[in-house]
Structure formats: C-alpha cells, structure tokens
Amino acid sequence: MDKIKKPKPIEKEIKLDPSKIIMSKTDALGVIEYANEYFMEISGYEEHELMGQPHNIIRHPDMPKLIFKMLWERLTEGENIHLLVKNLAKDGRYYWVLTNFETKFDEKGHVIYHYARRKAAPGNAIYEIEKLYKTISAIEKRQNPETAVKYFEGLLEDRGQTYDEFILNLLSITKESLNAYFGNAVTPKVKVEKKKKTLVDKLFK
C-alpha cells in the first residue's frame, strides 16, 4: 500500500467527546490493523486509508521524538505507558489524547500486537505538557535527541519523580482513577528477555 501524504498542520483543534474512546490495533512494527469508528471520525480517514499504514500517519510534527522513543521502549518491555499526545487529523487539524496501551506477546516473548485506547486529555494537563514539549523539541532540533533525554532526566530528578509519577501529578489523579478512566484496562505483566538498558530505560524505571 502506498503511504498517504501527510497534510499541512493548521492551528485548529478538534474537541473530543470525553465519554468516547479512540481505539486502534497495530502489529509489532506499528502498522495499523484495526481502528474503531471514533478513530476514523476524529482522524478523518476511512478504513481503506488507514489499514496497512504506519500509525505515525497521525503523528503531529509538534511532538518530540523522545516521547515516541520512550513509548516503544516501554511497550517492547510489556509495560503500559500513559502519554499526552498531540495528533494530526487528515484535514490538518489537531487533537490531544491521553493514551493507554496493552501489548500481546507470544510464548517466546515476541510482540504479536499493540492495542491502544485513547481518550480526551484534560485541558490543564495539555497546557503544561505543551510547554514542556516545545522545550524538548527545540533541544532536539538545535542540539540532538540525546541532549533532550538528558534534559528530561534532569527535570524529573529535580522533581524527585519517575515519569509515571510526573504524569499522575500533571493529571492530578491517582493511578487507580487513571485506570478507571480507561475502563480499568491494565496491561498484564509478562516475562520478556532482558536487554541492555538505554538512557530512556534508566530514566523511566
């Protein structure tokens, strides 16, 4: 399938229905295998446009690379991660989501698929995270991704928080309430082959 050309972003937000969930399923490499109706409604794409496309078809250029590096490293370890993400719709508009993931493994510990749930992100959290993302993106562009990782590591160390604690504090919510927000969906712990720890691993464990 030919890759779809991304639209030019415009400064117009799509407001999400907080009672609805955007769902998608991808293979181990992030290629879309399923998207629910609300995903298509918000993104503006139809089934035949989305299936077989990389999930980054909706990635907004304002998002730092660090966030997605962290995402994939956590998912390949079989760990859930909650992220505030700015996505790009087909018409160039944007929308903010809060994520929740489940990764399915085979008996040998290889990833079979990733299942994602996304809901409307709280406005107060968006305001704070957007400022941070702008800083991280600027460091990535003017310096390099490794410097951006060190900056974020320093920020969390200064606050005495892990990434997960940082997000909970940003959302002003407990872990239990956050799980309930997604219907108590919790990624089960699985045994996977250990690998060499990267900077991001060390930062967010």
Per-residue burial over 8-25, b if 16 or more Cβ lie within 10 Å, else e, is eeeeeeeebeeebbbbbb
180 pLDDT exceeds 90? no
For range 105-124, the mean pLDDT = 92
188 pLDDT exceeds 50? no
Specify whether domain 22-121+173-182 bears CATH 3.20.20.70. no
* pLDDT tens for each residue of 142-157: 999 999 999 999 999 9
pTM reported for the whole predicted model: 0.87
Residue 80: what residue type?
A: N
Q: Which sequence spans correspond to the domains of the chain?
A: 22-121+173-182
For residue 78, name the pLDDT band (cuts at 50, 70, 90).
Answer: confident
92 pLDDT exceeds 60? yes
51 pLDDT exceeds 60? yes
178 pLDDT exceeds 60? yes
Determine the pLDDT at residue 1: 60
Helices (H), 7-83: 37-43, 47-50, 65-76
For residue 77, name the pLDDT band (cuts at 50, 70, 90).
Answer: confident
For residue 198, name the pLDDT band (cuts at 50, 70, 90).
Answer: low
Q: Answer yes or no: are the C-beta atoms of 109 and 190 closer than 8 Å.
A: yes
* pLDDT tens for each residue of 58-74: 999 999 999 999 999 99
Helices (H) and strands (E) in the chain, counts: 8, 5
Beta strand 32-35 with 94-105 is unpaired
For range 124-143, the mean pLDDT = 96
